[in-house]
Structure 1
């Protein structure tokens, strides 16, 4: 399952070529591409627990575990990353205010189990009914609305340090436009490194928490509680997660020139199981990430 053939010489990629899911570059280059994926996902994955009050370190741990679980269940045929889901923010916030964090985790766990069961149903009867229930224009609108809802958060983050943010943005654009080969494919990584250096020089990075932190430590764990009166708030999220998963699987299929509809059941089930597992220990719910799909589209890896 986790054996990759080397793409060409492992160092160069033809302009019209695609490094397929069963291929890889040389390991140093693969690690560099992986680091770029970490940067692409980190902001959103870390932001959700900050907005909901869930422990960020627990969220990151189960985001990684959930992604590995996703790749195992999908037999490594759908290269997607599972990060924190913004679709859950409203019901989590309402549940926490009405009851407790445990009650919110209970709602997340039940939603994850329902999504996993939906995945088993899709695997059994196929995806044609999804297309009838949610045609592309509906599914695309749902995914677009999620992005529009995140726009104010991105703007507020940008406004906190407009100079550094602008330099970072231009660094990514210039690296993409000026560099060819691998450097052009890791433009996001290079742009963030430039932006980070600028932030340090401008005194915007506080290293004291790093100095005070332990080298190793366990995340903060919480357990779910179940309040039946709060569960209906979480049920509409299943529709959003269905649209996200199908949309992302379709996008990956278009990039790789493959029909991956037969994998939708597995992606839904693995996403649901990862969400339920994360909720069992206090982590944020997960979903496939458009950020990482964007990186794959830009790098063709």
Structure 2
């Protein structure tokens, strides 16, 4: 049967719809739109945080989702939105003087590495990855990536408008925890709208604010919300314009070994994300998706490399869309093709992109102070879910140094013109120190150590 022929079904609500099935097109389009809403907030917030073009990210999320579905033969229903795994690395690149071309060049190489890992997993099996990157190590790397971002919030976003940031953060926490069902899953998007409207109201009531805008060195008086760019933008057209650092929104990558080393730890996070995603989808659908594990990892790597080659953002499979499937019990890949088409159309609306790019710094401060903490705590979540035993010295002592190096931006001068530091050095130390002592312990099939030999 062709990948593009779905069995048409229309069961009662609550009855599962398999990946190879679809509802009538009228209902499938509605579900596709729901998937767009679910991925929407994070997919354009993370490009803003990384200094890349949100319109381009939205458009490539659609293109990359189609690429992913094709590589996985429509067996793994997934949406590829913007990945947060490289946010800390991007901040480190920019702190060292790199521009957007350096950012996308480094991420493109990381995408190629992830694709090669996918090929390896496809032929060797997922057990090899678990041996090299057991949950103890993966959790530590994800934790240091997230917490390494704390200075970015404190030094860039929060000072632009501290009260808007605080109120936006409070709203996001409240929405994510107390809003019912689907609405809690789009808390990032709702917080952005809340902060945007709050900033607009503050301009009307309180007038301009004096603060240091992102990238500036001196405080200036300015409105929180400026729509000059929105008014000048066209309704229809390809993503264009210039990013804050002077690089064109659509640009070719520039590759530097120093910057590549900074982003490679993000590959570990993406391996963990994709592996967890495939397992979650398999559990929901009841299908054996282990044969597609390597394809899924490789497809995400190719998608990341493809998007970065044109100045787009890195991608990953989205948990938000797993939530939509869990709530609706509709796993049809047809709905994802609809979502991808809608995202591509949104990416072809420059005025939409201009509205996104006008998001006030204080709003981003409120969102990122929660998001960055959540990224770090995902590492702890990996430990808890896999019952990592910190009573074992291999887990406690073996990981400790690398985590502090990553969070504290400790550096190691290798040569006169090359140094390792922060996330890159922390990740290397975590992996090397752990395996340096893990040989003395028994390991499960998942790669987790249990007790001393």
Asked whether the two chains share a fold, i.e. TM above 0.5, the reply is yes
TM-score computed with the length of structure 1 as normaliser: 0.79
CA apart distance, 1:169: 8.0
Corresponding residue for 1:21?
A: 19
- Listed one character per residue, the Cα deviations across residues 223-242 of structure 1 (whole Å, up to 9, x for unaligned) are 11011222211121111111
Unaligned runs of 5+ in 2: 158-163, 202-224, 240-248, 331-453
CA apart distance, 1:294: 1.2
Corresponding residue for 1:160?
A: 168
Write the mapping of 1:201-220 to structure 2, written as runs, cut at 5 A. 212-219=232-239, 220=249
Which range is displaced more, 232-241 or 159-168?
159-168
TM-score computed with the length of structure 2 as normaliser: 0.54
- Listed one character per residue, the Cα deviations across residues 275-297 of structure 1 (whole Å, up to 9, x for unaligned) are 01111111111111111111111
Inter-partner Cα distance in structure 1 for 2:117 and 2:22: 32
- Listed one character per residue, the Cα deviations across residues 122-149 of structure 1 (whole Å, up to 9, x for unaligned) are 1111112223344567667877998999
Check 1:6–1:196 CA distance in 2 against 1; reply closer, same or farther (3 A cut): farther
- Listed one character per residue, the Cα deviations across residues 150-196 of structure 1 (whole Å, up to 9, x for unaligned) are 9999xx878339679968987x62xx5xxxxxxxx89979xx99x97
Q: Is the 8 A contact 2:141 2:268 kept in 1?
A: no
CA apart distance, 1:36: 1.2
- Answer yes or no: is 1:60 the counterpart of 2:55: no
Q: Is the 8 A contact 2:50 2:87 kept in 1?
A: yes
Check 1:163–1:46 CA distance in 2 against 1; reply closer, same or farther (3 A cut): closer
Of structures 1 and 2, the larger Rg is shown by 2
Check 1:93–1:218 CA distance in 2 against 1; reply closer, same or farther (3 A cut): same
Match of 1:71 among 69, 72, 80: 69
Corresponding residue for 1:131?
A: 130
How large is the Cα RMSD of the aligned pairs? 3.6
CA apart distance, 1:3: 1.6
Corresponding residue for 1:275?
A: 304
Check 1:227–1:251 CA distance in 2 against 1; reply closer, same or farther (3 A cut): same
Corresponding residue for 2:289?
A: 260
DSSP-derived class of the 2:257 partner:
coil
Inter-partner Cα distance in structure 2 for 1:169 and 1:66: 31
Following TM superposition, where does structure 1 have runs of at least 4 consecutive aligned residues deviating by more than 6 angstroms?
140-153, 161-170, 185-189, 202-209
